[in-house]
């Protein structure tokens, strides 16, 4: 993930990156490499163009969303846990709990506590509280 203020800078960088990687026989993944308008001016620009809300993108387990702080109206990047990843993790935990059904309850509780704590340590970012509550509840 890279950020640029102007689109022409981003396009120039992307072209140079592709050329550099090609020199080593490498290429960017076409489905994972794209230019999007994102940032504090994106919503206004897209609204003027009639293009709707700014695009979101997934990176490092989070969906990144252009947003504003409710009280001040200032721009912020809202990050939510990727829904598919959370569902997959919950399914994985359920499968492992099923396998631990006959283990001592204290041992299973310690393991589950460790899993939930680790999940929270990574995903506890501002704006993601609803997803964390959902994970803990399920």
For the stretch 1-46, pLDDT in tens is: 777 877 888 889 999 999 999 999 999 888 888 887 777 777 777 7
56 & 89 share domain: no
E strands in the chain: 57-59, 62-68, 75-81
87 & 130 share domain: yes
| pLDDT score for 32 | 82
43 & 65 share domain: yes
86 & 109 share domain: yes
12 & 48 share domain: no
16 & 57 share domain: no
Work out the mean pLDDT of the chain and round it to a whole number: 88
Q: Which domain holds residue 62?
A: 37-81
What is the mean predicted confidence (pLDDT) over 68-77?
Answer: 81
90 & 137 share domain: yes
Q: In the chain, pLDDT over 90 holds for what percent of residues?
A: 50
Domains in the chain: how many in total? 3
20 & 49 share domain: no
d(CA 43, CA 48): 9
Closest CA to 14 of 4, 58, 24: 4
The alpha carbon dihedral of 28, 84, 126, 114 has a sign of negative
d(CA 125, CA 129): 8
* Token output for 61: 């387990």
22 & 54 share domain: no
77 & 95 share domain: no
73 & 100 share domain: no
73 & 96 share domain: no
């Amino acid at each position: 993930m890279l950020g640029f203020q102007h689109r022409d800078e981003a396009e120039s960088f992307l072209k140079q990156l592709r050329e550099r990687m090609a020199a080593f026989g490498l290429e960017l993944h076409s489905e994972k490499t794209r230019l999007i308008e994102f940032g504090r001016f994106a919503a206004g620009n897209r609204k003027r163009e009639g293009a709707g809300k700014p695009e979101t993108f997934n990176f490092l387990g989070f969906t990144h969303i252009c947003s504003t702080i409710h009280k001040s109206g200032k721009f912020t990047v809202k990050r939510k846990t990727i829904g598919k990843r959370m569902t997959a993790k919950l399914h994985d935990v359920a499968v492992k709990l099923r396998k631990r059904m006959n283990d001592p309850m204290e041992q299973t509780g310690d393991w589950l506590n460790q899993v939930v704590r680790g999940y929270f340590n990574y995903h506890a970012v501002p704006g993601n509280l609803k997803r964390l509550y959902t994970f803990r509840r399920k």
